[in-house]
Amino acid sequence: MNFIETRGNDSTHPLTVTFSHAILNPIASFGGLYTPERLPDLGKDFLQRHLNSSYKTLARDVLTAFAIDIDANVMNEALSLYDQFDNPSNPVPVVKVLDDLYVSELYHGPTRAFKDMALQPFGIVLSSLAQQRNENYLILVATSGDTGPAALETFKNKKNVRVACMYPDGGTSDVQRLQMVTEDATNLKVIGIHGDFDDAQSALKGLLGSDTFKQKLKQKNIHLSAANSVNFGRIIFQIIYHIHSYLELVRQKAITLGDKVYLNVPSGNFGNALGGYYAMKMGLPVEKILIASNKNNILTKLINTGVYDLRNQSVIATTSPAMDILISSNIERILFDMFGAERTKDLMQQLEKNRHYQLSKAELEKIQATFAADYCENDEGKAYIKRAFGKGYLMDPHTATCFKTYETCCKKPLKTIVYSTAEWTKFSPVIANALTGEVDAKDIDALKAIAKTAGIKIPAIISDLFSKEITQKTVIDKQDIEKEILAFL
């Protein structure tokens, strides 16, 4: 299967590209994205056939349907990373929390957040491609917390790939920072920046646009790439767990094969939700996809009113920081799928130029036939955490936002699958505050307080971080980054 461009072709890019081209060179004509030429149809008996498949077998068959140019042995190696999740025979447990609400836990990988679901296998695929082509890649990452650890973990000691990861010093949780600064592979460089996430991100953009930087990389024979969430090499692995979660509900006899369900997704850059949309288009019985946001509710407004409006908006810091996003990049692939390349280019250019676009009434109706949305305030989220805990379920503040969409968007008496994107250990101060009223706790104290209240242990993978040696000590000003990365290379 080949890939085409969401904003059409500018006649300097190829008209269609392979999967491997799309993941190594993710930026398409006019700044658009690569997207499959058509989505494969899984066929009528696919779900039936996979009722008792392992996660890996299901994954292999979903990927096979895309007929991509990745060797079977590379793909097998990539999928074998799910064997390192907590339970290799079921890397994504689905847990009943309320009568009609099930939580699909996407955080059982090495960094305890759902970024591992896609970045773990993606690391193998990218490094294998680089080796096959005898090319060297530098992956630049700017992170507010979860992508950094997951990218470092997947690329550490991988051949032909180096990672430079920038984070705002003081702008991540202690656990997230420790996960990054204790990584000691020689192909990894972690750089703290004096400033906030926007500073880290603008530093990255500056590098991508710097001619001297690119020239220096060329001299060293290094290609620049990114592992961000618009890369289709990540999206493709995010289709699988939606199908798996549905099959889990059938196996648990919560539904019968063919029944529709709600997919309920805590959304930021829309990669997770896009995976659900593709699964639905490929044949998964889905009533609607519910898009949960926090106070940065630009997607709630888009889906409820048809307006995407960045004017007079700035990012608000919330208790679900991985969703503190205003430019939700993967929405572009939905626009393309529903309205075509010409209209997508038009809308995205309006957004870039006027910081605003408005869908037509017919377009909005089409969006609303598939999506519904709402947003959750910090205090509401904490109340949901407390209530779920009362029912014996411990969840993180991102997952909690889905309990709002569950309450307001489920119009039919169908089962809902909530996607849990982080383990409680990653955002412990917020959870401790919700459960015990404790304020401004440091991560280690919050972890202990929750563990005591819940009668559970802090997982060793987290508690060990606090005694590990800090190997990545660089913390610098934004303007010194280029020099620092060149020295590392």
CB of 173 to ligand PLP, least distance (A): 11
CB of 81 to ligand PLP, least distance (A): 18
Q: Which of 104, 111, 127, 269 binds ligand PLP (CB under 6 A)?
A: 269
**Rounded CA gap, 63 and 274, in Å?**
16
Q: What burial letters (b/e) apply to 377-402, b meaning 16+ CB within 10 Å?
A: ebebbbbbbbebbeeebbbbbbbbbb
323 binds ligand PLP (CB under 6 A): yes
Q: Which is nearer to ligand PLP, 115 or 415 (CB)?
A: 115
CB of 416 to ligand PLP, least distance (A): 17
322 binds ligand PLP (CB under 6 A): yes
Q: Which of 26, 233, 268, 429 binds ligand PLP (CB under 6 A)?
A: 268
DSSP bridge partners of 188 = 163
Window of 188-196, 265-273, 309-317, 338-346 that interacts with ligand PLP by CB under 6 A: 265-273
CB of 465 to ligand PLP, least distance (A): 17
Q: Return the closest-CA partner of residue 326 out of 368, 366, 356.
A: 356
Q: Return the closest-CA partner of residue 471 out of 183, 174, 145, 178.
A: 183
Q: Is the Cβ–Cβ distance between 339 and 318 less than 8 Å? A: no
Q: Is the Cβ–Cβ distance between 21 and 1 less than 8 Å? A: no
Q: Which of 113, 126, 395, 446 binds ligand PLP (CB under 6 A)?
A: 113
Q: Which of 13, 281, 398, 415 binds ligand PLP (CB under 6 A)?
A: 398
Scan residues 402-441 and list those touching ligand PLP (CB under 6 A): 421-422
270 binds ligand PLP (CB under 6 A): yes
Q: Which is nearer to ligand PLP, 233 or 268 (CB)?
A: 268
Q: Which of 5, 105, 116, 146 binds ligand PLP (CB under 6 A)?
A: 146
Window of 112-120, 340-348, 407-415, 434-442 that interacts with ligand PLP by CB under 6 A: 112-120
CB of 114 to ligand PLP, least distance (A): 6
Size of the site for ligand PLP (CB under 6 A): 18
Q: Which of 176, 267, 297, 425 binds ligand PLP (CB under 6 A)?
A: 267
- Which positions touch ligand PLP (CB under 6 A)? 113-115, 146, 229, 266-273, 322-323, 398, 421-422
